[in-house]
Structure 1
């Protein structure tokens, strides 16, 4: 049976965070957090609540492993006060003209755990008026979408999109079901919405297999990009 320490380590791995991140988020001391992770002590009181929020999970599941309460937060499942605060926070950023850039690992969790975006912001870019408050940025890695998208360029992603709205050639952020990191692909639509495949833009990319859309989860559609030259 898993211990509290096991569950903390599990969520740290899934969210790609380290003890220093937990220290900044909860205010707990380095030795205290090390004791939680090693299993010598358990978080309690306000620390337990802060830790569960940061790890995007239920406090009861984190502390006692109640499987019925192992609710990795989904937006619809959040307590009303938390969900409202979550939405208000995004709107507040939008009103300030700010869009968060997150990691590709955090993006993979966005659909199921949108609170992740608030805990894993790596930078900020100007918001675009036509995008929703939930829009976020990603920094291009690798050359699978070369030459249109080069490493270190920044793309804007709109998560408020459904399969029925997609058009042939749209650029998508998706997550393969067996991977923990989001991916960037172009959609190819055949004879109908049930005939959808994904491919890289780079014709020289070694992995040119057409991937069925049914094998992935849709995270968002790429709207545009922001290029920084220095």
Structure 2
């Protein structure tokens, strides 16, 4: 039997080819062929998603990469023993809230824009708000986090699906004209990312998209607004 099939059976937790075929929604003959000639790349990717495994491990036997679920499990273990959680009476029963500093040295969480809107020291985001984990540049604080760009208001400097690093440890009076900021206003359901234009004073301050073709070139925040953080840099991925 091909070794990639052996590893597939290992991550699937079964030696039954019929069960694997059912799990991966492929024909029994396909699994039989994998056993003889090796698991295909498409099969490994499907198995990785189904069994929360690593496709490279199935294909080549290389050491499995840490998955998001693995990291969440590790966080929960550390939280139960070393970190005191906070609670929100509006959370569903069983919700676990921990500070964004998850004591995962070297990584920062990528969270949703809705979660970023509720980001604070008093009420940190939940573990379930974490979408992914990315390496943390050494100059950023351990409370830094990532956000995935949505829309084209900051095009072409920031494209959809790119990830930006946000540094929350900055005071409003330390901001400068032209800084890229993430803010949240009470009237909005989620945070927003724009360029800050200081003007001649507080009354002249407004937000501006980088996209010159964006319809609203001068955005004056309504209601009470909170500075979530300053955008430090972005993650560049080519595939």
- The answer to whether the Cα contact below 8 Å between 1:171 and 1:187 also exists between their aligned partners in 2 is yes
Q: Please give the root-mean-square deviation of Cα atoms over the aligned residues, in Å.
A: 3.0
1:210 aligns with 2:219: yes
Instruction: Give, in whole Å, the separation in 2 of the partners of 1:136 and 1:196.
Output: 26
Q: What SS does structure 1 have at the residue aligned with 2:216?
A: coil
CA distance in 1, matches of 2:102, 2:223: 32
Name which of 118, 124, 139 aligns with 1:115.
124
Q: Given the superposition, is the C-alpha separation of residues 163 and 214 from structure 1 closer, same or farther in structure 2, using an over 3 Å criterion?
A: farther
User: What is the aligned counterpart of 1:135 among 123, 137, 144?
Assistant: 144
Q: Deviations over 1:152-172 (max 9, x none)?
A: 111000011121000000000
Provide the residue aligned with 1:191 in structure 2.
200
2:172 is matched with which residue: 148, 163, 169? 163
Q: Which has the larger radius of gyration?
A: 2
For residues 110 and 129 of structure 2, what CA distance do their matches in structure 1 show? Answer: 8
TM-score (norm 1): 0.59
Structure 2 partner of 1:228: 237
Unaligned runs of 5+ in 1: 1-24, 26-52, 64-81
Tell me if structure 1 keeps the 8 A contact 2:187–2:223: no
Is 1:57–2:66 an aligned residue pair? no
Q: Please, which moves more after superposition, 114-123 or 129-138?
A: 114-123
The match for 2:155 is 146
Instruction: State the number of aligned residues.
Output: 154
Say which SS state the counterpart of residue 190 (structure 2) adopts.
coil
2:181 counterpart (172, 175, 179):
172
